[in-house]
Amino acid sequence: MSMKTYKSYIIIITALCFYFGTQVAAFIESSPDIEIDLLAADVRSLGELLISKQVTSQTLVNMYLDQIDKHDNYLHAMIQTTPREILMKRAQELDKEREAGKVRGPLHGIPIILKDSVATHLSLGLGTTAGSLALLDSKSRRNDVLLARGAIILGKSDLSEFSDGRGWSAVGGQTQSAYVRGGILSDDGSAGHSNPGGASTGSAVAVSAGYTLIAVGEETDGSLICPAGRAALYTIKPTIGFVPSDGIVPISRNFDSTGPDDKVGVNYSCEGAVEIEKSTNQHIRIGDTSDSNEEDALVHADSNGGDGKDETVVPGNANHREGHDGYR
């Protein structure tokens, strides 16, 4: 082999190595198998990964469901989870929209959890129990705009039954702290070391345990602030009346307010609160959705719930979590 031919081979091999090296690097960079610390991740950081296509919403859904399955038999932070097949279909649709350049907003493709006093769309197959056996098969005929904004609702968190107590309900059992093992001490007060907090405890524990990036809770008197404090989270209770209360099981219209739990600083918590406030409770009443799609159903509605009728209770499978010390 002549020196000229040898040099030509070297050039070709170098070029091929460079080409395939860049292709491999690009593949690794876009791989959905990127390592994510669910205990430290926040909306902003995962949002950036979604934007840069280093991770997909489908991957996030699987990761969070696995985290729930791994820890919730002890923590009891969840009352219901949305069926995996529904979640994966939803995540796939949102991934395709992002790929096509359609992004609905900051919550696009972000998995979240709602307190089980907040009504959800019928298509998710979730009830709204407020932790009570009396509402075990409750299905709201209301639509939530969170879906239109691109959020993925993983399920409903446990709470104090009818939002009164320290995180126990007949449906979900007693929520446990993600930081303090061994259960709640019988002589511990509401802010005691072993106590996970107040009525929105499930939402706070879900975030602190890495079940989700952000969860929605509700406060009458301390139900957001106390659990967030016990779970090392940020939260905000918006001014009473600023967030419409339609579609939420109430204690008092004069005291109730809805807000987020998340891991990041106050400024971003406020941004999240504003997005939740725009989205969570802008409900409308819907009937049979078999002949209409989600976008058709999501039209403007007044903050008083349109016709003002009570929510309809219909039978249905509530997809409740197994293994809790509450009713199953």
The CATH number for 49's domain is 3.90.1300.10
22 and 55 assigned to the same domain: no
175 and 66 assigned to the same domain: yes
Window from 69-78, 164-173, 271-280, 299-308 with minimum mean pLDDT:
299-308
Predicted pLDDT of residue 136? 87
Domain count within the chain: 2
Give 288-310 pLDDT, tens digit per residue.
Answer: 333 333 333 222 222 333 333 33
CB–CB of 132/249 below 8 Å?
no
18 and 96 assigned to the same domain: no
169 and 254 assigned to the same domain: yes
Predicted pLDDT of residue 141? 65
Residue 180 DSSP class: S
134 and 228 assigned to the same domain: yes
Residue 23: C-alpha distances to residues 27, 48, 257 (Å): 6, 22, 51
Burial of 172 (0-12, 13-18, 19+ CB in 10 A): buried
Give 146-160 pLDDT, tens digit per residue.
Answer: 788 899 999 999 999
Window from 157-171, 259-273, 286-300 with minimum mean pLDDT:
286-300
Of residues 141 and 164, more confidence is placed in 164
Predicted pLDDT of residue 176? 94
23 and 71 assigned to the same domain: no
Q: pLDDT band at residue 220, thresholds of 50, 70 and 90? A: confident
Amino acid identity of 174? Q
Predicted pLDDT of residue 98? 95
CA 1 to chain centre: 65
Burial of 213 (0-12, 13-18, 19+ CB in 10 A): buried
Q: pLDDT band at residue 315, thresholds of 50, 70 and 90? A: very low
Give the range of the structural domain holding residue 1, as residue numbers without chain letter.
1-30
Q: pLDDT band at residue 202, thresholds of 50, 70 and 90? A: very high
Q: Is the pLDDT of residue 177 over 90?
A: yes
Predicted pLDDT of residue 239? 84
Euclidean distance between CA atoms 321 and 328, whole angstroms: 8
CA atoms within 13 A on the CB side of 238: 24
CA-nearest of 142, 318, 95, 172 to 246 is: 142
Of residues 156 and 240, more confidence is placed in 156
Whether 302 maps to a domain, the answer reads no
Predicted pLDDT of residue 164? 77
Whether 35 maps to a domain, the answer reads no
47 and 25 assigned to the same domain: no
Total Cβ atoms within 10 A of residue 108: 20
Euclidean distance between CA atoms 60 and 210, whole angstroms: 11
Average pLDDT along the chain = 75
What percent of the chain stands above pLDDT 70? 69
Whether 312 maps to a domain, the answer reads no
25 and 84 assigned to the same domain: no
Whether 138 maps to a domain, the answer reads yes
Q: Is the pLDDT of residue 78 over 60?
A: yes
99 and 23 assigned to the same domain: no
Q: Is the pLDDT of residue 36 over 70?
A: yes
- State the residue for tokens 């309809």: 312
Whether 233 maps to a domain, the answer reads yes
CA-nearest of 269, 239, 270 to 255 is: 239
Whether 318 maps to a domain, the answer reads no
21 and 101 assigned to the same domain: no
Q: pLDDT band at residue 275, thresholds of 50, 70 and 90? A: low
SS3 124: helix
Q: pLDDT band at residue 15, thresholds of 50, 70 and 90? A: very low
Amino acid identity of 139? K
